[in-house]
């Protein structure tokens, strides 16, 4: 667990003020589809990632659901039993015996870039 979260987050927000940090959080930016033009979003994380704790990806998923964002426009995956972050997950399997993260990402891009809604 990160001990200096406000100080660590200052690198991204230029402040240690928690209210200001939360106001610029991607979760705070989610609005209903009628209020914004929502672009497809692919989120992948692991349950052992200390740089982006798993509750943050779950917070984003909850924000998307609660604002009624069409579930065809986003994918949220949390890998269990892994400590890697970002592209270190590229060759990992989404589930035992399941597809690799890279295959899921490429399929998502095919659906939303090659064949947009």
Secondary structure (H, E, C), the chain: CCCCHHHHHHHHHCCCCHHHHHHCCHHHHCCCHHHCCCCCEEEEEECCCCCCCHHHHHHHHHHHHHCCCCHHHEEEEEECCCCCCHHHHCCCECCCCCCEHHHHHHHHHHHHHHCCC
State pLDDT tens for residues 82-110: 777 767 788 888 888 889 889 999 999 99
Break the chain into its structural domains and give their ranges.
Answer: 1-30, 32-114
On whether the pTM is more than 0.85, the answer is no
* pLDDT, mean of residues 1-23: 68
């Amino acid at each position: 667990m990160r001990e200096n979260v406000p100080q660590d987050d200052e690198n991204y927000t230029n402040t240690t003020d928690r209210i200001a940090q939360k106001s610029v959080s991607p979760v705070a930016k989610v609005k209903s589809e009628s209020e914004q033009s929502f672009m497809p979003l692919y989120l992948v994380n692991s349950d052992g990632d200390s740089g982006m704790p798993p509750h943050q990806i779950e917070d984003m998923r909850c924000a998307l659901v609660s604002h009624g964002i069409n579930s065809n426009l986003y994918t949220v995956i949390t890998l269990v039993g892994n400590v890697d972050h970002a592209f270190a997950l590229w060759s990992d399997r989404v589930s035992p015996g399941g597809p690799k993260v890279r295959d899921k990402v490429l399929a998502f891009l095919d659906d939303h870039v090659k064949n947009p809604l």
